[in-house]
Amino acid sequence: MRNHLFEVDDVELILNDPNYILIDCRFDLSDEHWGYSDYLKGHIPGAYYADLNKNLSSPPTIRSGRHPLPAHDEFIAFLSELGINKNRTVLLYDTSFGSYAVRLWWLLHSYGHMKTYLINGGFQAWVVKSNPIDTNIPEKKPELFDGKFSGQNLIDQKEIEKNLNNRDYLLIDARSPLRYQGIEEPIDKIAGRIPGAINIFHQDHLDKNGFLLPETDLKTMYAFLKDFKKKENIILYCGSGVTSCFNLFALSQIGMNKPRLYAGSWSEWIQDPGHPIIKNER
């Protein structure tokens, strides 16, 4: 197992260490301004802020999903502005137990920056221990980020279209069961799922306190994948390619690094009226 978690007790020890960079990724899909506003009210001392819409995504188009991957040059400039270089360890958190921070975890890993971790339990775990909260925006100390995007953990819409009935491919939908079933859809204009997809809700990887489940529990959850021959054909998607990164994070924790992300996800899939969809009857 490769551990991609950083515990709160360890964060306390590195607050003033220049070899570490903290990034707050809190966000709210229903209010795009809430994340930064709430960050200003209090965050882990020294933490910068990363906005899902502005920093971790490109503007959506009429054919894309809600959160297309960020443009290369803009993303590199953002990472450089924060001072991320190959020698610095990046620690990420949000107020959703990693549901948004994991997008940046996946992106940094895709750009070759493997010294990137999620703070287990997120901001809540920091607060519950009565750790210090800061309202100051830390000074930025830019460094040149040297990284190149690798698409090996990415799959596009065309490949999914070609392999909808291919048993060598497995689609996993990371949305809530009700959204997966098509019973409710609070965000996207059409409810349902991609045909053939199974459901593993991203929040099911957490215990009741918002900490990642133990390795043994994660292995039990994904035991059915043990004999799946082509791990690179295990495909994760969600509403817009963000929270499904948490499933990829959990899989990586138990040594499965080959599954891929369909970044466009459901919100892209439904842009084409010719795409088949499935929904359960009420």
* Residue 238 falls in the annotated catalytic set: yes
And the tokens for 243? 């929270």
Among residues 23, 238, 242, 250, which one is catalytic? Answer: 238
Q: Do 57 and 27 contact (CB within 8 A), yes or no?
A: no
The structure tokens listed for 45 are 């001392």
Rounded CA separation 105/116 (Å): 6
Classify burial at 14, counting beta carbons within 10 Å of its beta carbon; exposed 0-12, middle 13-18, buried 19 or more: middle
In the block, residue with structure tokens 């009741």: 208
Distance CA 25, CA 2 (A): 23
User: Token pair 């899989």 is at which residue?
Assistant: 251
Tokens 């999914």: give the residue. 160
Output b/e per residue, 170-193; b: 16+ Cβ within 10 A: bbbbbbbeebbbbeebeebeebbb
Q: Which residues of 264-276 are buried (b: 16+ CB within 10 A; e: fewer)?
A: bbbbbbbbeeebe
| Residues annotated as catalytic (active site), given as ranges | 238
